[in-house]
């Protein structure tokens, strides 16, 4: 009788066991489906260093002192010892100009000599030529400053009018860099501010300079104000390469923050909806944690961050963090 009862209950028991096993497998499958995936990311460490705030502007090289030389008298240019690009010392003889009157007397004496036929006529014409030559009233033109000959407008043997331009001399010791600063930066920049200049003609070089003057008048259409920088401690070999109208950019130092936390710009996430910034760190549990930060000085590839939750040496994600939710499981890609 007992055996018959067992036989009657056995099919139900087996069915129950099969049902329980099926539920267990479904539960495991559900857990596998809902388990969040692990995201692969790349990281870097927060570095500590000096952060420098700067104002950038564009400009060009100009010269403060240029002298143009004009003919003091009308006449003929007997000599002109100036060549464009060459150096000339202050007080050096640049040109000699024979006046029109002297030239007319010499030309007349030469004409008499040309038509003289007898020995007496030739002797008389020769004395006249010597007298005209000895009475030559030529003007000597000297360089008022030392520098480089920039332009030459006259040539030897040519006639020139009184007041006619002959050449211009540039005093290269007065070469400066002039830039147009945005008006928003005027309160940050002042005379004495150190700066670095990069010229398109000298790639790879940064020239030290200092702000020496800021114009009291702004340009309304461009909303800029002109600032003048003086080159500082340049090697002679570099200074000789500088030319007027060389274009470039200047970075003016406006602040210095020692011991700042620095990260690559790629580590910073920007939220345009609420104008906030953040970085994502990784905890010991391999979970991502979003940390709000304030930004400071930014340069070409790095930016200063400020947060009480961060310190130098902590890791931040620089790749794979976009759309990454807080507490997401991550793994570091090698």
Tell me: do 159 and 98 sit in the same domain.
yes
Highest mean pLDDT, choosing among 56-60, 91-95, 295-299, 322-326 = 56-60
Q: Cα angle vertex 213, ends 207, 217, to 5°? A: 130
**Averaged pLDDT score across all residues of the chain:** 84
Looking at per-residue pLDDT, the higher value among 268 and 9 belongs to 268
Tell me: do 59 and 197 sit in the same domain.
yes
Q: Which pTM value belongs to this model?
A: 0.64
Tell me: do 84 and 205 sit in the same domain.
no
Asked if residue 113 is part of any domain, the answer here is yes
Average pLDDT for 281-290: 90
Tell me: do 153 and 183 sit in the same domain.
no
Average pLDDT for 225-249: 91
Reduced to 3 states (helix: H, G, I; strand: E, B; else coil), residue 248 is strand
Q: What percent of the chain has pLDDT over 70?
A: 82
User: What CATH number should be reported for the domain holding residue 204?
Assistant: 2.40.30.170
Q: How confident is the model at residue 34 (pLDDT cuts 50, 70, 90)?
A: low
Average pLDDT for 49-74: 91
Q: How confident is the model at residue 333 (pLDDT cuts 50, 70, 90)?
A: confident
Tell me: do 192 and 253 sit in the same domain.
yes
Q: Which long-range contacts (CB under 8 A, 24 or more apart) does 272-281 make?
A: 277/305, 279/305, 279/307, 279/310, 279/316, 279/317, 280/316, 280/317, 280/321, 280/324, 281/310, 281/314, 281/315, 281/316, 281/317
Note the pLDDT of residue 277. 96
Asked if residue 29 is part of any domain, the answer here is no
Note the pLDDT of residue 125. 67
β-pairing, 138-142 with 47-63? unpaired
Cβ atoms 163, 118 nearer than 8 A: no
Average pLDDT for 248-262: 91
Tell me: do 292 and 250 sit in the same domain.
no
Q: Could you list the residue range(s) of the whole structural domain that residue 276 is in?
A: 39-52+258-332
Tell me: do 152 and 163 sit in the same domain.
yes
Counting the structural domains of the chain, the total is: 3
Specify the residue for token string 């006249």.
Answer: 128
Position 5 pLDDT exceeds 50:
no
Position 154 pLDDT exceeds 80:
yes
Tell me: do 241 and 295 sit in the same domain.
no
Average pLDDT for 206-225: 93
Note the pLDDT of residue 109. 61
Tell me: do 88 and 165 sit in the same domain.
yes
Asked if residue 112 is part of any domain, the answer here is yes
Position 14 pLDDT exceeds 60:
no
Average pLDDT for 316-328: 90
Average pLDDT for 295-302: 85
Tell me: do 178 and 210 sit in the same domain.
yes
């Amino acid at each position: 009788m007992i055996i018959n009862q067992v036989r009657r209950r056995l099919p139900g028991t087996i069915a129950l066991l099969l049902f329980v096993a099926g539920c267990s497998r479904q539960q495991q499958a559900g857990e596998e489906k809902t388990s969040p995936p692990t995201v692969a990311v790349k990281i870097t460490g927060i570095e500590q260093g000096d952060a420098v705030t700067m104002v950038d502007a564009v400009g060009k090289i100009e010269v403060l002192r240029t002298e143009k030389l004009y003919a003091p008298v009308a006449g003929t240019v007997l000599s002109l010892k100036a060549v464009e690009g060459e150096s000339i010392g202050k007080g050096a003889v640049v040109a000699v100009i024979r006046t029109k009157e002297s030239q007319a007397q010499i030309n007349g004496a030469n004409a008499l000599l040309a038509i003289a036929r007898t020995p007496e006529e030739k002797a008389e014409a020769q004395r006249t030529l010597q007298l005209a030559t000895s009475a030559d009233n030529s003007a000597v033109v000297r360089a008022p400053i030392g520098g480089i000959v920039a332009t030459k407008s006259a040539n030897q043997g040519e006639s020139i009018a009184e007041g006619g331009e002959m050449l211009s001399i540039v005093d290269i010791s007065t070469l400066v860099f002039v830039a147009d600063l945005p008006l928003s930066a005027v309160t940050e920049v002042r005379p004495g501010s150190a700066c670095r200049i990069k010229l398109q003609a000298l790639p790879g070089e940064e020239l030290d300079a200092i702000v020496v003057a800021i114009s009291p008048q702004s340009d309304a259409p461009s909303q800029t104000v002109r600032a003048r920088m003086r080159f500082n401690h340049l090697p002679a070999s570099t200074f000789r390469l500088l030319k007027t109208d060389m274009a470039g950019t200047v970075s003016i130092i406006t602040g210095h923050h020692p011991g700042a936390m620095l990260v690559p710009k790629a580590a910073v996430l920007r939220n345009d909806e609420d104008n906030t910034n953040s970085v994502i760190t990784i905890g010991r549990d391999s979970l991502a944690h979003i940390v709000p930060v304030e930004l400071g000085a930014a340069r070409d590839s790095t930016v200063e961050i400020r947060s009480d939750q961060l310190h130098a040496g902590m890791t931040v994600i620089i790749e794979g963090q976009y759309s990454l939710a807080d507490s997401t499981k991550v793994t570091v890609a090698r």
